[in-house]
Amino acid sequence: MRSVFRKSTALAVLAVFLLVPVFAQQGQQSQQSQQSRTETQTQAGKTSGEKVNLNTARLDELQKLPRIGPKVAQRIIDFRKENGAFKRVEDLMKVKGIGEKLFLQIKNLIAV
């Protein structure tokens, strides 16, 4: 009888040691997933529901767009000064540092 009890106890302890890392990893993945959702919501909320007009936006307004930092925002302004107003939102891809992938991510957040 003691032998069965010892085996059961040993199996229970072993199960705890094996499952604790699994639950910890799931919790960590859940936190990362939540953080990712929060970042996406924050980026989407940066424009506060209004589209950024490429022809009138200031440096700080352009930086509110996802993945547009101060250097790329300045390039947009410089491009606008050198070439005149953007005629279509797709013209943004003519700016160095803005490729199709980035454009597709922000096209619903911009206007001309």
For residue 12, pLDDT over 80 is answered with no
Phi and psi dihedrals of 48, rounded to 5? 45, 40
Record the pTM: 0.59
Per DSSP, 58 falls in state -
pLDDT for the residue 49: 75
Bridge partners (DSSP) of residue 111 are 53
Q: How do residues 42-57 score in pLDDT, each as one tens digit?
A: 444 454 678 999 999 9
Contact yes or no for 68/62 (Cβ under 8 A) = yes
